[in-house]
Structure 1
């Protein structure tokens, strides 16, 4: 990374950043493991603890970082002229579009450097941004990679833009956020595994008891059925317990076939009409439902309320309009941990992973293309 002369180096300690990565991984792993274990052993306090743990950790990080953010806010930003080397739209929108700019920044009191920034530009203003065009940017003196374009500079800077002519900085002068290398990711993964292992070990006795009691009984009904149709030569397997339910279709069938998903959900809820779910996961030939334990109100929804008629179209949109490439695998997840029901369709293909989100009516509210 090229450092601008006279700019102070970032003061964040690398060991502190790595330690935070490890703790974050541990909190995520412990929270996920607590959620799964709580569902298996039907422990409401553990479920609440698992959901509250990342929230509490996030608040602690927010409070711990307040002094640093105050110091950074107290440092006056640097304003400078910049020239557009290239630009490329990386997102779409109804009125604004996300644009990735490669800029040469020429500060008044230091050498020119290159920086890559992403800005949300109104479609009406987009023609004003062209390669070799000059504009005004602002950035913290110790973090030049956080430069942002001033779309409405002061009259003084507009006059400077009108008569400015800048030379391109070499590619070697590109500034970017200092990399933590592979250590940060490795420590986060280690923390995640360790956090999950601690929760599982703490509740291994309860898990063993739940496994031993997993046979059909009056307190934990378990139904395993296999149905077949002599006209279609197709079959499906349905397994229902107090905590989960799954339906697996036979060869040649798909959950996207007309009425198939609705029938699969009905087969898991027909014995208990008031049963609520925490999560519904749909794949090509498999439906999985995690039921809400007794006493849990937050995050519950009726799986029969899904917009079944819209789901094939949502999957088709995700597969054909988001650039994931082929071959593809897809998965639909429905949940409402906070707020209204959210339906997310994720598609993984040769060009990467893409997703779209829809509301409880099946109306698309967000798209994330591959790459």
Structure 2
């Protein structure tokens, strides 16, 4: 049985998308751009309200898209795919690090009662099955009738189609009969990109002054030489042995190679260097992380409901002993790297010390007074 291919340009032409999809694409881009800009700008300028507000439109858009897309997904699922025979015009293997090789096919599809057309498709084939897909052989494909560019090779077509494929000989369709995704899809990408830029501009433009201050007026990301923390929103100072970097949202202190934050009074001095110059109520933190020579603090934004604690409430005098117990009594082995994390989630302030060594990682939990409440040995 020989099936002759035609151009198929009329019957196989895909249906172009309507203007409503362009509008949805623009709105999707605008929401994405506005959300990303709000998250980044809120973090940079230290506005917790702006940061959290950026999440609202994104969550709402996800819910709306999911709910609005249910009828379309139901319609697409209800469409009975067209099954047809196809001739492999060419096959090209792509690189892969696994036993399944991605193959890119160019097929001539010959549906029953309709002109043939060409289509490109991909299929992941195991190495042992590569010989089953040589050029000019006949395979079975399935595709939605209104989206023929989504044709896929059916690996197990069933007895009837297997017999038909074995007996059929399909003539090649001309290269001009190749069907592709509608060009409107590329238009949608351009519209989404424009919406993303406009959405980001709506958020960034009103805050350009604050962002300029946060990154430095010379555009280098560093504050001007004469500006202090109150003028630029961030500062960095370096002494012979200690480096302090502070902004409205975060702060870090790195001590010299021959120092340790466990040295007497060193941790308290490091915290004081980050809180110096901050007004009342600005010394509260969300998280404090202490390592041998590095202190990291995430300061609490002015947003109700965010868990926080006062840095003065840390049991500084008890922390060296807690770290020493974690390193020596949890079975991590020697040498052991330690880290202390202070956080207040739903209840009171808690401290967790982790010690990692050649025998694994152990943890030690303590309360706000520095009294041990739980141990988890390594291994």
Q: Do the structures match in fold with TM over 0.5?
A: yes
Contact 1:4 1:110 in 2 (8 A): no
What secondary structure, in the 3-state scheme, does the structure 1 residue paired with 2:165 have? helix
Higher mean C-alpha deviation, range 75-84 or range 206-215 = 206-215
Number of corresponding residues: 251
Q: In the aligned structure 2, how far is the partner of 1:218 from the partner of 1:209?
A: 7
Residue 292 of structure 1: how far off its partner (Å)? 5.5
Residue of structure 2 equivalent to 1:111: 115
Q: In the aligned structure 2, how far is the partner of 1:190 from the partner of 1:226?
A: 47
Residue of structure 1 equivalent to 2:300: 294
What secondary structure, in the 3-state scheme, does the structure 2 residue paired with 1:125 have? helix
Q: In the aligned structure 2, how far is the partner of 1:153 from the partner of 1:79?
A: 9
**1:25 and 2:38 are equivalent in the alignment:** no
Residue of structure 2 equivalent to 1:188: 192
Residue of structure 2 equivalent to 1:279: none
**1:132 and 2:140 are equivalent in the alignment:** no
Structure 2 CA distance for partners of 1:74 and 1:292, relative to 1, 3 Å:
farther
What secondary structure, in the 3-state scheme, does the structure 2 residue paired with 1:169 have? coil
- Alignment deviations for residues 259-297 of structure 1 (CA, whole Å, 9 cap, x no partner): xxxxxxxxxxx9579657xxxxxxxxxxxxx98653779
From 40, 57, 66, give the equivalent of 1:36.
Answer: 40
Q: In the aligned structure 2, how far is the partner of 1:116 from the partner of 1:292?
A: 52
Q: In the aligned structure 2, how far is the partner of 1:5 from the partner of 1:208?
A: 56
Contact 2:11 2:115 in 1 (8 A): no
Q: In the aligned structure 2, how far is the partner of 1:22 from the partner of 1:190?
A: 7
Higher mean C-alpha deviation, range 38-47 or range 75-84 = 38-47
Q: Which runs of 5+ in 2 are unaligned?
A: 1-6, 218-222, 253-268, 275-286, 290-295, 308-379
**1:75 and 2:60 are equivalent in the alignment:** no
Contact 1:81 1:137 in 2 (8 A): yes
What secondary structure, in the 3-state scheme, does the structure 2 residue paired with 1:109 have? coil
Residue 171 of structure 1: how far off its partner (Å)? 0.4
Residue of structure 2 equivalent to 1:232: none
Q: In the aligned structure 2, how far is the partner of 1:174 from the partner of 1:291?
A: 59
What secondary structure, in the 3-state scheme, does the structure 2 residue paired with 1:98 have? strand
Q: In the aligned structure 2, how far is the partner of 1:4 from the partner of 1:76?
A: 22
Q: In the aligned structure 1, how far is the partner of 2:107 from the partner of 2:212?
A: 59
- Taking structure 2 as the reference length, what is the TM-score of the superposition? 0.56
Report the structure number with the largest CA radius of gyration.
Answer: 2
Contact 2:30 2:200 in 1 (8 A): yes
Residue 203 of structure 1: how far off its partner (Å)? 4.8
**1:145 and 2:158 are equivalent in the alignment:** no
Q: Which runs of 5+ in 1 are unaligned?
A: 229-236, 247-269, 277-289, 298-371
Contact 2:38 2:51 in 1 (8 A): yes
Residue of structure 1 equivalent to 2:103: 99
In the TM superposition, structure 1's runs of 4+ consecutive aligned residues that sit over 6 Å from their partners are 208-214, 218-221
Matches within 5 A, 1:236-247: 240-243=246-249
- Taking structure 1 as the reference length, what is the TM-score of the superposition? 0.57
Contact 1:34 1:47 in 2 (8 A): yes
Residue of structure 2 equivalent to 1:216: 229
What secondary structure, in the 3-state scheme, does the structure 1 residue paired with 2:179 have? coil
- Alignment deviations for residues 13-38 of structure 1 (CA, whole Å, 9 cap, x no partner): 1x122212211221121011101111
Residue 91 of structure 1: how far off its partner (Å)? 4.3
Structure 2 CA distance for partners of 1:292 and 1:61, relative to 1, 3 Å:
farther
Structure 2 CA distance for partners of 1:122 and 1:293, relative to 1, 3 Å:
farther
Residue 151 of structure 1: how far off its partner (Å)? 0.4
RMSD: 3.9
Residue 83 of structure 1: how far off its partner (Å)? 1.0
